[in-house]
């Protein structure tokens, strides 16, 4: 793995860095393909919204792009861009003149199952909590770490519910269901991360004959769904099924048709973004 800290090779940050102390920062996990970040405009926009919400100065966009290029390899891979508030004194009060730390890492080839494989989805006991910065990918991800520890050997992902039992997300991805031919996904007004693929489907689905809506989802509604899909930079758009549950009647008809259509337009995401 190649790691750059503020543009220089190395893996060390100051012990006083607020990203380390308090999770005071944001990050993006970016799919690199042909030495370019896929859907970069959406990743950059989310990064900037998170930095603005936290009051952290944004780094130069070109520097981030140059460093992502430096850590890219010749095959599809994942890279990570982290921006923290930088070093600071003890205590929660933010320094008046922050010196942000920028970390870019990458270089490992993308290792995922065949895109045609259906992912096995469990239900986590760890609950998703109300986010202080909904939609943003901030560094405070302890609940996701705890949820990930619950995965069994036969899990590929885990659903996360809120305190009221509503489905909010998966451990590392956004959730969609198909209900009567419509793609539905939980809103992000209080919980979750605004995934780049999720947002792309919401923005462009109608242009390709897809009806995509945000709505509250109970676990029972997910169990009754015609099909379940997960989206992330790493997965793309993948079909999933709840463990211990056979695919509902109609899932192959509605789900496969929509998935085929999404796969057909997936290669055109970059031109539309």
pLDDT tens digits, 223-240: 999 889 999 999 888 889
- Residue 44 confidence (pLDDT) above 90: yes
pLDDT at 114: 62
- Residue 31 confidence (pLDDT) above 80: yes
pLDDT band of residue 262 (cuts 50, 70, 90) is: low
pLDDT at 113: 59
Helix axes 40-54, 196-204, angle to 10 degrees: 110
Out of 3.40.630.30, 3.40.50.720, 2.120.10.30, 3.30.470.10, select the CATH number for domain 2-109: 3.30.470.10
- The mean per-residue pLDDT over the stretch 91-111 comes to 92
Of residues 182 and 273, which shows the higher confidence score? 182
Half-sphere exposure at residue 217, Cβ-oriented, CA atoms within 13 angstroms = 29
pLDDT tens digit sequence for 159-185: 999 999 999 999 999 999 999 889 999
pLDDT band of residue 111 (cuts 50, 70, 90) is: confident
Strand order in the sheet with 157-161: 212-214, 182-185, 174-179, 227-232, 236-242, 119-123, 157-161, 166-170, 217-218
**Fold category of 119-272 in CATH:** D-amino Acid Aminotransferase; Chain A, domain 2 (3.20.10)
Residue 9, SS3 per DSSP = strand
Q: Cα–Cα distance between 214 and 223 in angstroms, integer?
A: 18
- The mean per-residue pLDDT over the stretch 37-45 comes to 95
- The mean per-residue pLDDT over the stretch 64-77 comes to 95
Would you say 35 and 183 are in contact if contact means Cβ atoms under 8 Å apart? no
pLDDT band of residue 110 (cuts 50, 70, 90) is: confident
- The mean per-residue pLDDT over the stretch 125-147 comes to 95
**CA distances (Å), origin 20, targets 86, 126, 140, 196:** 9, 23, 10, 26
- Residue 65 confidence (pLDDT) above 60: yes
pLDDT band of residue 70 (cuts 50, 70, 90) is: very high
- The mean per-residue pLDDT over the stretch 29-49 comes to 95
Task: List, in order, residues 6 or more apart from 34 with CB less than 8 Å away.
Answer: none
Global pTM reads 0.91
- Residue 249 confidence (pLDDT) above 50: no
Widest distance between CA atoms in the chain:
59
pLDDT at 72: 95
pLDDT at 264: 66
The count of other CB atoms within 10 Å of the CB of residue 266 is 14
Percentage above 90 pLDDT, the chain: 75
Q: Tokens 């269901």 sit at which residue?
A: 177
Residues of the chain with CATH 3.30.470.10: 2-109
Residue 231, SS3 per DSSP = strand
Report DSSP state, residue 127.
P
Residues of the chain with CATH 3.20.10.10: 119-272
- The mean per-residue pLDDT over the stretch 10-35 comes to 95
């Amino acid at each position: 793995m190649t790691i750059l800290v503020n543009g220089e090779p190395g893996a060390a940050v100051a012990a006083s860095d607020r990203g380390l102390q308090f999770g005071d920062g944001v990050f993006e996990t970016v799919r690199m393909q042909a030495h370019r970040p896929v859907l970069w405009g959406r990743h950059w926009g989310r990064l900037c919204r998170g930095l603005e919400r936290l009051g952290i100065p944004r780094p130069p966009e070109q520097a981030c792009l140059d460093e992502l290029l430096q850590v890219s390899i010749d095959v599809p891979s994942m890279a990570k861009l982290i921006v923290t508030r930088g070093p600071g004194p003890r205590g929660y009060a933010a320094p008046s003149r922050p010196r942000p730390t920028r970390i870019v890492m990458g270089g490992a080839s993308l290792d995922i199952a065949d895109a045609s494989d259906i992912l096995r989805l469990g239900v986590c006991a760890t609950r998703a909590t109300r986010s202080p910065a909904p939609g943003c990918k901030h560094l405070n991800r302890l609940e996701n770490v705890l949820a990930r520890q619950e995965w069994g050997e036969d899990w590929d992902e885990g659903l996360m519910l809120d305190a009221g039992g509503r489905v909010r997300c998966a451990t590392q991805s956004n959730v969609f269901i198909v209900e009567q031919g419509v793609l539905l996904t939980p809103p992000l007004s209080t919980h979750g991360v605004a995934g780049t693929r999720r947002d792309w489907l919401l923005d462009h689905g109608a242009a390709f004959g897809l009806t995509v809506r945000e709505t509250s989802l109970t676990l029972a509604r997910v169990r009754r769904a015609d099909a379940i899909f997960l989206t992330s930079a790493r997965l793309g758009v993948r079909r999933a099924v709840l463990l211990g549950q056979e695919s509902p009647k109609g899932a192959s008809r509605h789900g496969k048709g929509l998935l085929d259509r999404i796969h057909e337009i997936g290669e055109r995401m970059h031109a539309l973004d």
